[in-house]
Structure 1
Amino acid sequence: MSKKACVFLAPGAEEMEFVISVDVLRRGDVKVTVAGLPDNAAVKCSRQVNIVPDCSLAEAAQKGPYDLLVLPGGLGGAEALSKSKEVGKLLKEQESAGRFIAAICAAPTALKAHEIGVGKTVTSYPSVESQMTEGGKYIYKQDKVVVDGNIITSRGPGTAFDFALKLVDMLNGKEKASEVAKAMLLNY
């Protein structure tokens, strides 16, 4: 049975993190649904690129459960994810079921806002490190990708391929991730 992932797309999302995650997951034989916040209209990302989601967040929620929820970064996108009650509800359900949750760049702040992965080791974009460490809810590392149980976090645009390949690895194994990396002329 094919693994399923839902990638959230909020206004202000970092395009590279979003597109690389979706692309690599699909190359890794993961069925990806792109869920737009607040609806299925085109989303203007952080570098003014417009991307059209597959469906609204509400519609995507009906297609679950997912093996993986992915939160791309970008400051505006992370803020929108942090403020969304619907995102919070989906994250809490995902966490309580022990399924994977991944966040890159500024998006780990949305995990903190919804109290997801408390007590786990995480990473983020350097400018939000102090937010992540404030209050002592997380253990912080500056590694490119950090996996702690069902929580996967990463640093930013430059680590997007490492992040996406780790997601394929977690869902479909290291061999599949290596096969995808090799086809893209990357090492994994």
Structure 2
Amino acid sequence: MAKILIPLAEGFEEIEAVTNIDVLRRAGLDVITAGIGSKNIEGDHGIKVEADTVISEIDTADLDAVVLPGGMPGAANLRDSNELRNIIKKLNEENKLCAAVCAAPIVLEAAGILDGKKATSYPGFDKDMPSCNYQEDRVVIDGNLITGRGPGVAMEFVMTIVEYLLDEETKEELQKSMLVKSK
């Protein structure tokens, strides 16, 4: 079973974080949440969560993917974590999935993995991603990178991840069981 890291930092976007955690677990994937600096993290809209662990306890050898929720200042707090940037660099070197939504693609930029790659983000963050080939599509896939625009794209973004890590059939079964409109 694939193991996915979802890091959480103060000010994360709750819709993006919880949607990713929930849907990936429904798909049967092993999701571990890791707080930046603490297990107790408060989102941008005042929702408090307790992460499974802290980022310093993560062993990259076990990971198959990292999925970054956006939100501000959550994405900036993720970007400022040396430990997280090192995890992202290592996963990317191993051609493992690195996904980010909303403002979080700035973390991929800071980790140095967007150079020449197609990517998107919440409007306005393109200026913080100068090395990429910026797109305005809702979800963008380029090799082992998946990026998405924002909270309203959270379900489409995570379904893209499910299909990438598992298969189209699993994605379609989830969409049907959750009453998610497919394209």
How would you bin the TM-score normalised by the shorter chain? Answer: over 0.9
Aligned letter for 1:75? M
Shift of 1:84: 0.7
Contact 2:14 2:44 in 1 (8 A): yes
Query: Where in structure 2 are the equivalents of 1:92-171 lying within 5 Å?
Result: 92-132=89-129, 134=130, 137-171=131-165
* 1:77 aligns to 2:71 (yes or no): no
Corresponding residue of 2:47: 49
SS in 2 for 1:109: helix
Gaps of 5+ in 2: none
Partner of 2:28: 29
Distance 1:118 1:65, change over 3 A: farther
The whole-number CA distance in structure 1 between the counterparts of 2:127 and 2:175 is 33
Aligned length: 182
Partners of 1:101 and 1:140 in 2: how far apart?
Answer: 16
Shift of 1:116: 1.6
More helix by share: 1
Q: In angstroms, what is the RMSD of aligned CA positions?
A: 1.1
What is the distance in 2 between the residues matched to 1:151 and 1:63? 17
Using the size of structure 1 for normalisation, the TM-score is: 0.93
Deviation, 1:127, is: 2.3
Q: 2: distance between equivalents of 1:163 and 1:45?
A: 19
**Runs of 5+ consecutive residues of structure 1 not aligned to the other structure:** none
**Quick one: which of 171, 174, 178 aligns to 1:177?**
171
Partner secondary structure for residue 69 of structure 1: strand
CA distance in 1, matches of 2:149, 2:34: 22
Task: Report the TM-score when normalising by structure 2.
Answer: 0.96
